[in-house]
Amino acid sequence: MRRRNALWSAPALALLITGVTIGAGAPTPAHAAKKPTKEEITKVRKDEEGRLKKLDKNYAKQAKAQAQYYKKLAQESGKSGGNVQPLLDAAAYFDSEAKK
């Protein structure tokens, strides 16, 4: 009988300590890290996009094709009286991306 009580005491003690720690508001590892700011997130995303662009050998060709598509779409939209400026802005963006 004594052996059985010894086996149950370790898990019970661990459960008790965990309950007291969480109940006391002690920081857990997930809460201990500081939350990144928007500027930090933007910088990390920009760096990651630049790294991925360098790894993708077809990125420049794809950006150039996208720019041509937007230019063609702007011409067609202009014939029907649509606003072409956003399409031309997108074409200019992808042209600049193709040259990087």
Using one digit for the tens of pLDDT, what is the confidence trace for 4-56? 555 566 666 666 666 655 555 555 665 567 888 999 999 999 999 889 888 88
| Tokens 């990144």 sit on residue | 36
Q: Per-residue pLDDT for 76 more than 80?
A: yes
Burial category of 70 from C-beta neighbours within 10 Å (exposed 0-12, middle 13-18, buried 19 and up): buried
Q: Which two tokens stand for residue 32?
A: 């201990």
| Tokens 């939209």 sit on residue | 77
Q: What does the alpha-carbon distance between residue 9 and residue 54 come to, in Å, rounded to a whole number?
A: 58
